Amino acid sequence: MTEIESLSEADAANELMRLAKQIAHHNKLYHAEDSPEISDADYDALVRRNNAIEAAFPHLIRADSPNRLVGAAVEASPLAKVSHAVRMMSLDNAFAAEDVEEFVARVRRFLNLPEDEIFALTAEDKIDGLSCSLRYEKGKLVQAATRGDGSVGEDVTPNVATIADIPQQLKGDVPDVFEIRGEVYMAKIDFAALNARLMEEGRALAAQREAELDPASVRQFANPRNAAAGSLRQKDASVTASRPLRFLAHGWGEVSAVPADTQYDMMQRIANWGVPVSPLLQRFEGVEGVLAHYRMIEAERAELPYDIDGVVYKVDRLDWQARLGFVAKAPRWAVAHKFPAERAQTTLEAIDIQVGRTGKLTPVGRLTPVTVGGVVVSNVTLHNRDEIGRLGVRPGDRVVIQRAGDVIPQVVENLTRDEERAAYVFPDHCPVCGSEAVAEEGEVDVRCTGGLICNAQKFERLRHFVSRGALDIEGLGEKSIQEFLDLGWLDKGPADIFRLKAHRDELLGREGWKEKSVDNLYAAIEAKRSPDAARLLFGLGIRHIGAVTARDLLKGLGDIARLPGKAAELRAWLEENPQGEGESDGKYAGRKLDAIKAILEVRADGIGPAVAEALGDFFHEPHNRALWDDLLSEVSPPPYIVETRESEVSGMTVVFTGKLETMSRDEAKAQAEALGAKAAGSVSAKTDLVVAGPGAGSKLKQASALGIRVIDEGEWAKIVEAAG
């Protein structure tokens, strides 16, 4: 980066143009879209560079200078726009004690205060949340709005009404008009619970769709600030109500009267009216006190219940604030003392690959231990293969790591990427079991294809194999599976379940196992020696093959033993038939789909390239073929024959929704297929009938809107009975 003293006027003008565009871009991502792509520290560095160039070349200051803009304009948004009666300003930043001392000196000069006159400053933590203005008239909340670009924000009144911290009616003697301004935020503990809940909802949805959960598909928030912003700016206030949002006041906007003379006393009034203010707000006389408070807050930062990124200082006397006034986008009487970026340099000693329970290969960087933000860091996430390529990291590189609050540390820069050394090669085989590791087309995650033979995945895969939707072996729960794995009784995979009887004497001697429970377990296992072929296929946990897809596959093939040969045919066709030169995507996709359906002898719409590639990858792996042969040596699934009976729903598409009380969802779908109907998972214009149980929600509403016939479980039972 060229030193400012060395910049020519033309160079300075060009750089100011680039910086204005960059900063505007990042402002939009942060304020309008809640999806920042750079850290606060990197953003602050851009602003500092812009300010320094403007100071050196004041005649080059642009009309779109970042110093003349606040936040980002409200563009396409489902929320109504609100004009602020008093502009919501931003704050100038200080990054060192010297900057704070200069701020105080600047105030003194502006007010022409003698050096020996002491004046007070307030200091409070700067919450990393979403700015919001609450307008009260005669003490009643009448409107709430986001900051937007400072002049125009978004109307979030119904959403704010769901936040417990924000009273609908203020207590005590309140001016006729009083706008309270502050930050909507989400506490760290609430943020963690929200993301955990979203993951559980993702699992439930995956189970409902009879599919394997892909964690990457779950909409989770990157940090509490994004969670708060995304939750507040909802068109549906019920979504906001389901999110644990909070509020802390830090000032005010338009008012009909200010019933105090100082910033500190005014904030105490707001607190007495029932609106929370920061518990760390204090008043100090002189710069030494606020700097000491800053150091105390910085030391306690990690333990605070919410994220902060600095400390805000304000001139306490309101008459002095009025004299000081404002510059283009910020008050002269306040400054934000930002915390230094929690970054450090260290050496990347090694890259280890961890294999998750779903087979995902995640690279973890092992570092020479270094202290970042008061925490010793020795490991760092490298996310995936693409991220390693983007950073160009290799063992031995010097890297910059960043830690923000409780977020897992990550590499933000490779300082030695230009050194002449071989690039890191991401493994194409699982480091745990040696099976092939592949990434499906369009995905960044590389996954082990070992499945049930991979020790990293065994527990999760076996739990799925015996689950209700698969073989449904009663008495073989998670605790028992883990116990038998620890004893080495399930080392070879699911076939070992059918050999557990050999351990009868050992099992009887273990805690919690009595003769009756052991005999019941063995009886439940023996009852599955001739399992339903579709349940067996679903139980293998092959990616993209849920319960419905398994049934669709076997409807065409009939005999599950044909699968390995068909998988080999699929893989061979896909390898021998890449997209031809001059062949359009649509033409090739159609030819590919026709070939897949012909090889698998199926007509179902849900079977396409993803299923074909998953089957090909699974059976191409020698370990999986050995596991398959071993399993079929213990079980004998009969041919899969779907006998259909004529009924009033033959040829129809049926959707089951809500809680079914007399049968499982799988049994209901099997009944529909036996009656010659197609069981679908979602309601569309092609749906002919919806069977709704208690608790039916969006699917029932959609069916009503489309005029689709809806019946209850009792009526469905009559249809089944009538078909004989």
Q: Could you read off the pLDDT of 99-133 as tens digits, one per residue?
A: 999 999 999 999 999 888 888 999 999 998 899 99
* CATH topology for the 343-414 domain: OB fold (Dihydrolipoamide Acetyltransferase, E2P) (2.40.50)
Average pLDDT over residues 278-287: 95
Residue 406 pLDDT class (50, 70, 90 cuts): very low
| Collapsed DSSP state (helix, strand, coil) of residue 172 | coil
Instruction: For residues 323 and 321, give the distance between their C-alpha atoms in angstroms, rounded to a whole number.
Output: 5
How much is the pLDDT for 383? 86
Alpha-carbon separation of residue 55 from 10, 66, 100, 104, 465 (angstroms): 15, 13, 18, 20, 68
Q: Structural domain boundaries of the chain?
A: 4-69, 93-338, 343-414, 473-526, 533-632, 653-722
Instruction: Please count the other Cβ atoms lying within 10 Å of the Cβ belonging to residue 206.
Output: 17
Residue 213 has pLDDT above 60, yes or no: no
How much is the pLDDT for 138? 95
Bridge partners of 351, per DSSP, are: 365
Superfamily of domain 4-69 in the CATH hierarchy: Helix hairpin bin (1.10.287.610)
DSSP states of 108-150 as a string?
Answer: HHHHT--TT---EEEEEEEE-SEEEEEEEETTEEEEEEE-TTS
| Collapsed DSSP state (helix, strand, coil) of residue 511 | coil
How much is the pLDDT for 74? 47
How much is the pLDDT for 41? 65
Residue 523 has pLDDT above 70, yes or no: yes
List the beta strands (DSSP E) in 382-493: 398-402, 410-414, 437-438, 447-448
Angle formed at CA 553 by CA 476 and CA 550, multiple of 5 degrees: 25
Average pLDDT over residues 635-647: 82
Residue 569 has pLDDT above 80, yes or no: yes
How much is the pLDDT for 262? 97
* Dihedral sign, Cα of residue 498, residue 499, residue 501, residue 507: negative
Average pLDDT over residues 314-328: 92
Instruction: For residues 265 and 478, give the distance between their C-alpha atoms in angstroms, rounded to a whole number.
Output: 59
- Tell me if domain 533-632 and domain 653-722 are identical in fold: no
pLDDT tens-digit map of 426-466: 999 999 888 889 887 667 789 888 877 788 888 888 988 99
How much is the pLDDT for 407? 55
How much is the pLDDT for 597? 85
Closest CA to 395 of 373, 374, 369, 416: 416
DSSP state of 499: G
Residue 667 has pLDDT above 90, yes or no: no
* CATH topology for the 533-632 domain: DNA polymerase; domain 1 (1.10.150)
How much is the pLDDT for 492? 86
Instruction: For residues 245 and 239, give the distance between their C-alpha atoms in angstroms, rounded to a whole number.
Output: 11
Instruction: Please count the other Cβ atoms lying within 10 Å of the Cβ belonging to residue 369.
Output: 11
Pairing type for strands 130-137 and 177-185 reads: antiparallel
* CATH topology for the 93-338 domain: D-amino Acid Aminotransferase; Chain A, domain 1 (3.30.470)
How much is the pLDDT for 443? 75
Q: What is the mean pLDDT of the chain?
A: 86
Instruction: Report residue 324 CA to chain centroid gap.
Output: 44
How much is the pLDDT for 299? 83
Any residues with CB less than 8 A from the CB of 478 and at least 6 apart, and which? 459, 463
pLDDT tens-digit map of 45-80: 788 888 888 878 877 787 777 776 654 454 545 688
Q: Among 23-27, 85-89, 371-375, 516-520, where is mean pLDDT lowest?
A: 371-375
List Cβ<8 Å contacts ≥24 apart for 34-37: 34/225, 34/226, 34/229, 34/230, 34/233, 35/226, 36/226
pLDDT tens-digit map of 582-632: 777 778 888 888 888 888 888 766 688 888 888 988 898 888 899 999 999
Instruction: Please count the other Cβ atoms lying within 10 Å of the Cβ belonging to residue 670.
Output: 18
Any residues with CB less than 8 A from the CB of 230 and at least 6 apart, and which? 34, 221
Instruction: For residues 166 and 183, give the distance between their C-alpha atoms in angstroms, rounded to a whole number.
Output: 11
CATH: 3.40.50.10190, 3.40.50.2300, 3.40.50.10440, 3.40.50.300. Which one for 653-722? 3.40.50.10190
Residue 635 pLDDT class (50, 70, 90 cuts): very high
Most confident of 17-21, 25-29, 280-284, 555-559: 280-284
Tokens describing residue 505: 């004497």
How much is the pLDDT for 669? 80
How much is the pLDDT for 519? 92
pLDDT tens-digit map of 144-181: 999 988 889 999 999 999 999 999 999 999 999 999 99
Instruction: For residues 488 and 491, give the distance between their C-alpha atoms in angstroms, rounded to a whole number.
Output: 6
Q: Which of 21, 28, 126, 659 is catalytic?
A: 126
Q: What's the pTM value of the predicted model, to 2 decimals? A: 0.48
Instruction: For residues 264 and 255, give the distance between their C-alpha atoms in angstroms, rounded to a whole number.
Output: 17
Residue 316 has pLDDT above 50, yes or no: yes
Query: Phi then psi for 133, rounded to 5 degrees?
Result: -115, 130
Instruction: For residues 307 and 310, give the distance between their C-alpha atoms in angstroms, rounded to a whole number.
Output: 10
Instruction: For residues 657 and 666, give the distance between their C-alpha atoms in angstroms, rounded to a whole number.
Output: 12
Closest CA to 466 of 453, 455, 456, 477: 477
> Does residue 126 carry a catalytic annotation?
yes
